[in-house]
């Protein structure tokens, strides 16, 4: 069961409904949604693996759930290496990358802007990064706190932790096709939804989600703050058979999205996790 696209569609639906209902209302304060002086993008991913069964879980998703969404399988050579280690951790914090094995420091690498520029050039020469917007990449990585931990264990991995200050840029083409940070997602809004957006004259949306608290701007107008509760949403999930799965990770997360319709101006600013 592919939970992630379902959750994305749910959030889009919430955004669009709020926007369509309230876009005609007079604007409230014209100030930007509260934001940090220096946004931090925190992503912590826990991965547990079992060399005996050659299976792994990631971010709270079981091996079976990962298989259903097409997660790749490790080659035998990888399993042989992992079987020799209890844990491996990669940390990207500020201007440094640290790698630890079995809780012991293995490697420290400079990760300032100049180092990243060299890495981008090497990667582009090797695998042709193509249309990646390097300025956007810097927005994401300049103040990143990324931690990826691999642990040899049969237990389910810990839920994904996300707290993003940088807005995720989402583009909706005239035909409804969705792209994220310039990359096509393969998903599209229905023609009826596109017509509804056009009828409401929505050009762009800015969403800040903070553990259920929703701050929304439509065409630059700040709408009243709303709160979505996990318990109530779980009731709706069961009643209508939405199969949203475990909602705890998303209600423990903070992130922002800028949604642009057609050729409208891009959404700027950050969110305060």
**What does the pLDDT average to over 51-61?**
92
pLDDT over 70 for what percent of the chain?
Answer: 80
pLDDT at residue 166, as a whole number: 87
**What pLDDT sits at residue 129?**
52
* 197 closest CA partner among 21, 26, 25, 30: 21
Q: Over pLDDT 90: what percentage of the chain? A: 37
Backbone angles phi, psi at 250, to 5 degrees: -75, -30
Q: What is the mean pLDDT of residues 37-65?
A: 87
Could you tell me whether strands 183-188 and 96-101 are parallel, antiparallel, or unpaired per DSSP bridges?
unpaired
For residue 60, CA distances in Å to 30, 102, 125, 221 come to: 40, 22, 35, 37
**C-alpha span between 144 and 42 (Å, rounded):** 6
**Rounded to whole angstroms, how far apart are CA atoms 72 and 127?**
19
pLDDT of 11 higher than 70: no
Number of alpha helices (DSSP H) and beta strands (DSSP E) in the chain: 8, 14
What is the CA 100 to chain-centroid distance, rounded? 25
Instruction: Transcribe 59-118 into DSSP letters.
Output: TTB-HHHHHHTTPPPPPHHHHHHHHT-SEEEEEEETTEEEEEETTEEEEEEE-SHHHHHH
CA–CA distance, 39 with 145 (Å, rounded to integer) = 11
Between 221 and 27, the more confident residue is 221
Selected residue with higher pLDDT from 14 and 216: 216
What's the confidence (pLDDT) of residue 125? 62
Beta-strand relationship, 104-110 and 96-101? antiparallel
- Residue 4: its pLDDT value, please? 45
The string over 138-163, giving b where at least 16 C-beta atoms fall within 10 Å of a residue's C-beta and e elsewhere, is: ebbebbbebbebbbbbeeebbbbbbb
């Amino acid at each position: 069961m592919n939970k992630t696209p379902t959750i994305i569609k749910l959030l889009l639906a919430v955004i669009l409904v709020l926007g369509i209902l309230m876009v005609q209302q007079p604007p409230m304060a014209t100030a930007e949604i509260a934001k940090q002086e220096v946004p931090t993008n925190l992503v912590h991913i826990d991965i547990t693996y079992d060399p005996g069964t050659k299976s792994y879980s990631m971010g709270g998703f079981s091996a079976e759930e990962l298989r259903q969404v097409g997660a790749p399988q490790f080659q035998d050579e990888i399993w042989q290496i992992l079987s020799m280690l209890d844990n491996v951790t990669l940390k990207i914090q500020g201007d440094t990358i640290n790698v630890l094995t079995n809780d012991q420091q293995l490697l420290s690498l400079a990760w300032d802007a100049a180092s990243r520029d060299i890495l981008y050039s090497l990667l582009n020469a090797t695998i042709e990064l193509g249309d990646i917007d390097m300025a956007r990449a810097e927005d994401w990585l300049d103040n990143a706190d990324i931690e990826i931990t691999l642990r040899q264990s049969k237990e389910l991995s810990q839920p994904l932790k996300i707290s993003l200050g940088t807005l995720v840029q989402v583009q909706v083409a005239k035909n409804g096709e969705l792209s994220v940070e310039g990359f096509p997602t393969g998903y599209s809004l229905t023609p009826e939804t596109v017509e509804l957006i056009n009828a409401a004259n929505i050009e762009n949306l800015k969403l800040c989600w903070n553990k259920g608290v929703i701050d929304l701007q439509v065409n630059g107008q700040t709408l009243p703050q709303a709160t979505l509760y996990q318990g109530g949403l779980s009731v709706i999930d069961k009643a209508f058979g939405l199969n949203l799965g475990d909602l705890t990770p998303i209600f423990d997360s903070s992130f922002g999205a800028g949604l642009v319709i057609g050729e409208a101006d891009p959404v700027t600013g950050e969110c305060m996790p």
